[in-house]
Amino acid sequence: MKNGSGNTNTKLILLHPYIQKQSSTTRLWLLAFVSFFTIIFLLTLLYTRDTIIPSRNTSVAAAVAAVVTSAADSNLPTTTINALLHYASRSNDSFHMSYGEMKSISDVLRRCAPPCNLLVFGLTHETLLWKALNNNGRTVFVEENRYYAAYFEEIHPEIDVFDVQYTTKAHEAGELVAAAKEAAGNECRPVQNLLFSDCKLGLNDLPNHVYDVDWDVIFVDGPRGDANEGPGRMSSIFTAAVLARSKKGGSPKTHVFVHDYYRDVERLCGDEFLCRENLVESNELLAHYVLDKMDKNSTRFCSDRKKRSVSSLS
């Protein structure tokens, strides 16, 4: 460019190597930044997939139980019942019951005159299933863990669950059963109001109205009974036996189911308090008893009648 004096000024622009180096470094940092977040995204996706899928599988009972919310009748259609049993038995939960076991209880609930009163000891994989199958009936759950009971009731407010503190240990079963048999004419008699009972095997700290209900079906699937230091199911089986014999109204018969029947404590207490003559079907995992209510002056749980034939649960 020329100025007024006729001199020409030449402007020279030099590109310093540092500028090119800085641009290259910026691109490398940007690439590293994008790569880092891409890896984080992929890891998050994989982790979410691994955690969601089992959760969906183990909550099958909750999903299929929702089917009944639109049912208007007190008796569910056969197709709905079969679907509930099918999906609950196909869960990946290793502690779920088999189709045959659930079907046995389901058949009794279906024949139960509405409104059916169902009492269940233990919150398990099948809790929502029992509530659904006893549609428009009364279903109450008894749980040993107060924190889990509160949590379960919070996420499923339609469930009635009460916590109870067991004072027994499974390894004491023989001694406790012997003491209860000896006191069968007094504090451990088969017909009584357990709310005022002094029998060590009787549960007397449930809400008052639980003792006033004439229960049609009682299912013993709790508390824990798989370890010597666990509470064992002596108290829940004894309580079920007394509630069934002490009914004041409704059907004179009560169906009592005992899960994990292969274990010594469940079999011992079943024989002594529910009685072999009342056992109608069983396999290694589930026993089904049918008990009649008794006279208030009765002092024996089991009679000398000949043991009835027992069928096998498929």
How do residues 26-53 score in pLDDT, each as one tens digit? 666 666 666 665 665 555 444 433 333 3
CB proximity list for 260: less than 8 A, separation 6 or greater:
221, 225, 226, 233, 266, 285
Average pLDDT over residues 150-176: 95
Q: How far apart are CA 116 and CA 140, in angstroms?
A: 11
Tell me what pLDDT residue 226 has: 82
Tell me what pLDDT residue 2 has: 43
For residue range 220-274, list pLDDT tens digits in order: 999 998 888 899 999 999 999 999 999 999 999 999 999 999 999 999 999 999 9
Name the amino acid, one letter, at 44: T
Residue by residue, DSSP assigns 149-214 as HHHHHHH-TT-EEEE------GGGHHHHHHHHHHTTTTTT-SSS-GGG---TTS---S-HHHHHS-
Tell me what pLDDT residue 45 has: 43
Q: Which residue has the higher pLDDT, 192 or 88?
A: 192
This prediction has a pTM of 0.75
Banded model confidence at residue 66, pLDDT cuts 50, 70, 90 = very low
